[in-house]
Structure 1
Amino acid sequence: MTQTKVLISGAGVAGAALAHFLHHDGFDVTVVERTPGLRGSGYAVDFRGDAFDVLAEMGILDEIQGHDTKMRGTTLIDTEGTAVGQLPAEAFAGELEVPKPELTRILHRVTEPDVLYIFDDSITTLTQHPDHITVEFERGAPRDVDLVIGADGLFSKVRRLAFGPHEACLRHLGMSGVGFTTDNILGLAHSGVLQQVGTTAVYAFAAADTARMSVSLSFATDAPTLDRRPRSEQEQAVRTAFTGRKWVVPQLLDAMATADDFYFSSSTQVHLNSWSRGRVALIGDAGYCAAPTAGMGTSQALIGARSLARHLTASNGDHTAAFAAYEAELRPYIEANQQTGREGAAAFGARTE
């Protein structure tokens, strides 16, 4: 019997997890990733609810738990840096938190022997036919496959090619921010601090590596237009938002300017009437990002990957039925998480209408 050929765009959590489940069920899987190799950066990620069942089913739960950051909680501070309250670890770290590079490394290691990974390439064209899809790439030769799955994040290339422009499905939640790491000038140890003033917030924490701390500087914005602007403009927007702030904010702004892991993003959700179009489907942030304020991105990626794989396996080759069943099963869960994401953004004074 001929194996169903599936091309997954994106080697992150959603893509690697889906590759694992599909290969296990007899599919011929290829993963294409635009970066030259595995991403070695990123904040810690957390797991909640049914995501633990997915990790256990993959046989990696014990190993993942071995990388627990052991966060103890977050201290709320006022404008002068004085402690005024405490949040439990679960507020930011979920039921389990691990460094994202460790999760990515583990997922790649358990799938790499059986899945073809193509790095440093990206899909440029999708041409759907009655019985297959022709995929063209920036560098590699065209391929004919049975299905294409977009697991390539908020600004998914697959989604843009198959569903239309980003602007049609992205919903800005009224806040943006930068993230970077710097020296642990606050002496944090498996803990964090949060200072919220008006529609701005400073969050810093030290987890696995207590010599360094991760910093997030968030502020209210009207639209995610800064996401695609030069770093210099993004930094200036941050400086403007935090003008006049005391405590260690001036030092953090200086550290931002020299950080080599600087990234800028807006709290944005993806809303689509359908997560599939012909022989193309979406999982994870590409299809239904709930925004960082929901704290569910990693769990959604894992649960969505398992759901899609199960329905493709059960469909006996009927991808249309599989995609419909996957969406029917998952959409209530996603809608609840997206509501949580909107409420989280509103808690920071953002406008989420």
Structure 2
Amino acid sequence: MRILISGAGIAGPVLAYWLTRHGYSVTVVERAPALRKTGGHAVDLFRPAMNISEQMGVLPRVEARATGTSRMTLYPEGARRCVRVDVAKIFSATSDRHVEIMRDDLSEIYYDATHEDVEYVFGDSITAISPDAEVRFENAAPRRFDLVVGADGLHSTVRRLVFGDESRFSAGIGAYLGVLTLPNAFGLDGELRLHVGVGRTAGMYGARHLDGARALFLFRSDREFDYQHRDVVRQKDLLRSAFRGMHTDVDRWLDQLDCTPAFYFDSITQLRMDTWSRGRVTLVGDAGYCPGPAVGGSTTLAVVGAYVLAGELARAGGDHERAFPAYERAMAEHVRGSHAVALSVAKTLIPTSRLGVSGLVQGTRLISALPAGPRRALLRRATKSARLYNCMTVEDYPPAPAASGGRAGFVGDRSGN
């Protein structure tokens, strides 16, 4: 059986890894000409994704590439004093197994774990998918597969081709996210500098192994902005308008917008679909159920979703008519919880009032100052995301005894090529 995955970010390689372990032949097609190794932003892996990474044999590399963020300096907008916080204490209290890692580093680690057993096609994209899974590409000749999986992110091509326009399923939360790479002028190593005001939050962090530092911008807007997904000039203008004058530090970061080597901007949007599957096609990760970039634990959800999808296909013997519904049932509660948590996290990270700014600052200071026992108890009661991800359970899907783990020796290839 041959399975095509669109997207070589996070969910795609993880899904490819587990599908090959279950005995399937996998091709991954990626629009970018190569793995993205510059820019990107930090993402969180919570306990279930850490456990899956450990089963994949990549956990030592994941831990070695952790950002190591342990300190935070918090600047409330308009205040004279900053607040210094031991972030390591907060992380240890919210999750007993957690790593913050750059997205591009994580993608490369998962790719390295799969590229010997998986066919990767870079610099190409799907243009059409027929009901019997004949796929047309921008560059390559048409090919027939048994199943097609969209792991191609929030703006998924596979979802658009099979389910329709993104606007039918996307729900913005009234906020936007921007990330840029800039020189590490402050010499930050394991520190996050965060400026928080009403409706806007800006931060900068760095680590020894990063190519410079990263600046992160989160802001709210009462109206939806009109811009094209790839209109970088317009996106940078929106950031300038939202943050100019917040603080001299933030103004310096904005001054780097026109010379940054890597830039990302998008609305913080949730995807809400009644089903992620249609015929021989299904979706995984942000392509199917994005809870919202930067606020919803989407990386952990993508890793778990990829693992579950591969496992349910193996359990059903490759019968997608049984496997896809089982996959959706197994993930439904996790997705609902992530969507709810994302809305709560966004309200905390981007306060809507001065009282909210004060609450964030004072709450963070209090939590950092408490002894380990009370701090852990308070965070587990107050932090919905910690409860969600620490309680997320995943079934064990043992590899098929006949799985060879490589490209050769697969059965059930109906395409003949």
TM > 0.5: yes
User: Secondary structure of 2:257's partner?
Assistant: helix
> Which AA in structure 1 matches 2:87?
P
1:47, 1:202 → 2: CA distance? 22
Residue 177 of structure 1 and its aligned partner are, at CA, apart by: 2.8
Q: What is the aligned residue count? A: 345
Per the TM alignment, residue 337 of structure 1 is displaced from its structure 2 partner at its CA by 1.0
Q: Note closer, same or farther for the CA distance 1:258–1:197 as it changes in structure 2 (3 Å cut).
A: same
**Could you say which structure has the greater relative contact order, defined with CA pairs below 8 angstroms and 6 or more residues apart?**
2
Out of 58-67 and 323-332, give the one that drifted further. 58-67
The 3 A distance-change label for structure 1 pair 116 and 211 is closer
Counterpart for residue 74 of structure 1: 72
Aligned with residue 108 of structure 1, among 107, 111, 117: 111
| Contiguous gaps of at least 5 residues in structure 2 | 354-417
Instruction: Determine the structure 1 residue equivalent to 2:85.
Output: 86
C-alpha offsets along residues 174-233 of structure 1, whole Å, 9 cap, x if unaligned? 111321121223332201011111111111111234772210122213336435262222
Residues 247-286 of structure 1 correspond to what in structure 2 (within 5 A)? 247-286=248-287
What corresponds to 2:306 in structure 1?
305
**Alignment check: 8 A CA contact 1:294 1:337 kept:** no
Give the Cα–Cα distance (whole angstroms) in 2 for the partners of residues 156 and 6 of structure 1: 17
Structure 1, unpaired ranges of 5+: none
The answer on whether the counterparts of 2:149 and 2:281 sit within 8 Å (CA) in structure 1 is yes
**Distance in 2 of aligned mates of 1:264 and 1:350:** 21
Amino acid at match of 2:61: E
Closer, same or farther in 2 for the Cα pair 1:125/1:161, shift >3 Å? Answer: same
Range that drifts further, 193-202 or 179-188: 179-188
Greater alpha carbon shift after TM alignment, 249-258 vs 158-167: 249-258
Query: What is the RMSD computed on CA atoms of the aligned residues?
Result: 2.1
- 1:153 corresponds to: 153
**Residue pair 2:296, 2:339 contacting (<8 A) in 1 also:** no
Equivalent residues of 2:71, 2:84 under 8 A apart: no
Shift of 1:332: 0.3
Matched, 1:27 2:39: no
Partners of 1:150 and 1:282 within 8 A in 2: yes
Give the superposition deviation at 1:11.
Answer: 0.7
Q: Report if the CA contact (8 A) 1:190-1:210 is conserved.
A: no
Bigger CA radius of gyration: 2
Q: Which residue of 2 aligns with 1:18?
A: 15
Whether 1:135 aligns to 2:135 is yes
Equivalent residues of 1:128, 1:278 under 8 A apart: yes
- Native 8 Å contact 2:44 2:299 kept in 1: yes
Q: Measure the CA separation in 1 of the matches of 2:29 and 2:299.
A: 20
For 1:325, what is the secondary structure of its paired residue?
A: helix
Asked if the contact 1:174–1:345 (Cα under 8 Å) also holds between the matched residues in 2, the reply is no
d(CA) in 1 for partners of 2:294 and 2:61?
27
Q: TM-score, length-normalised on structure 2?
A: 0.78
Q: Deviations over 1:90-123 (max 9, x none)?
A: 5699711223232222211221111111110000
Deviation at 1:164, TM superposition (A): 0.7
Contact 1:6 1:148 (C-alpha < 8 Å) held by counterparts: yes
Equivalent residues of 2:70, 2:86 under 8 A apart:
no
Is 2:117 aligned against 1:118? no
State the identity %: 35
Which runs of structure 2 are paired with 1:272-351 in the superposition (5 Å)? Answer: 272-347=273-348, 348-349=350-351
Question: Do structure 1's residue 46 and structure 2's residue 48 form an aligned pair?
Answer: no
